[in-house]
Amino acid sequence: MVYTQRGTPIQIPRHGLPLENDGRAAVQKEHASDLALMERTLRLTLELISAGGVRITRPRGSSPLVVMVVMTLYVKACKTYRAVQLLCEAGLAEDAHTANQTLLEVLFAIGWILQKASRNRTDMYLAHLLRRDEELLKIWKQTKGLKLYAKKAAIRDVAAKVAEAEKGLGATVVAKLARSYSGLTIRQTAHAIHADVMYELYYRLASRYPHASDLARHAVAPEDGGPGLALVVAPGPSEELGRAAKTASLFLITIAQSIDKKFGLGHETKLQEFGEKEFGFKPPRSKARPSREPDAP
């Protein structure tokens, strides 16, 4: 038997979840201000990449490679934010939090690259992608049933690219990058960019959603006091949904501010005014400053 939040038996629909359309309508009504905030946030942050292209006015310490990697990550952030927005509109708060955790990881990555020595850290980020592929191929090669996916040509290709990365960064550094782009844990990375509060108050808490540790969000005691549990299968409004919407907006504005501050894209005043108006305070900014040192060759 499938139940709504009220413990009332319902019919399985031909499409989607039970009472999904009703849930969407309720979300539009009860979370109108949250959804409007998300739309305003997306419109503003897209201006960084759509207003005649990206124009860098603070190029010192920002090589073309740094700009390319950071702005690519920014596009990922905007798309992930849109995913959170769609999940919120659908009344799927838990999955919105899961996507939000991804958005926060993008914030950490961009913040770490922009903080200092951006060219070197960009090289480390790209080397991490290679080391991750190298380790994956190694595991496939050693695992029965997966060996056929570890093509010799792919192994040779990634090994050659890793060797090239070692010439610039050093073999010791590259060896540590299989775990992460910074060579640190996610918590250590957050601490390094002064994002401890975001990590402790959101990342750790939100980890329950992607790791299937949010059982209480999907089943409750029946309101009639009967035995068993009422399964919470119908999506809809919730306090968590509003929290996911507001948090995602704060994350994306923070990312946009850090990039604008580093590259001088010309949106600083608009982003600051938006943060003050929508959040009641200035969103936390990255500690990144334009580098005083030229990029490493």
pLDDT value of residue 220: 81
Residue 277 tokens read as 């108006």
- The residue among 290, 269, 259, 265 whose CA lies nearest residue 52 is 265
Is 288 a member of any domain?
no
The pLDDT assigned to 60 comes to: 67
237 found inside a domain:
yes
Backbone angles phi, psi at 142, to 5 degrees: -100, 0
Is 213 a domain residue? yes
Domain annotation covers residue 38? yes
236-272 pLDDT, tens digit each: 999 999 999 999 999 999 999 999 999 988 888 999 9
b/e for 88-127, b at 16 or more Cβ within 10 A?
bbbbbbbbbbbbbbbbbbbbbbbbbbbbbebbbbbbbbbb
The tens digit of pLDDT for each residue in 179-192 reads 999 999 999 999 99
**Calpha distance 255→249 (Å, rounded):** 10
Domain count, the chain: 1
Give pLDDT, residue 48: 87
The verdict on residue 1 lying in a domain is no
Query: Who contacts 225 (Cβ-Cβ below 8 Å, separation ≥6)?
Result: none
pLDDT beneath 50, residues of the chain: 1-2, 5, 283, 286-297
What pLDDT is stored for residue 229 in this prediction?
77
Q: According to the model, what pLDDT value does residue 51 have?
A: 59
- Spatial separation of the C-alpha atoms in residues 189 and 27, rounded to whole Å: 36
Residue 290 in any domain: the answer is no
Q: Phi/psi at 112 (nearest 5 deg)?
A: -70, -40
Can you give the pLDDT at residue 18? 86
Domain housing 222: 20-279
Domain-embedded: residue 54: yes
Domain contains 294: no
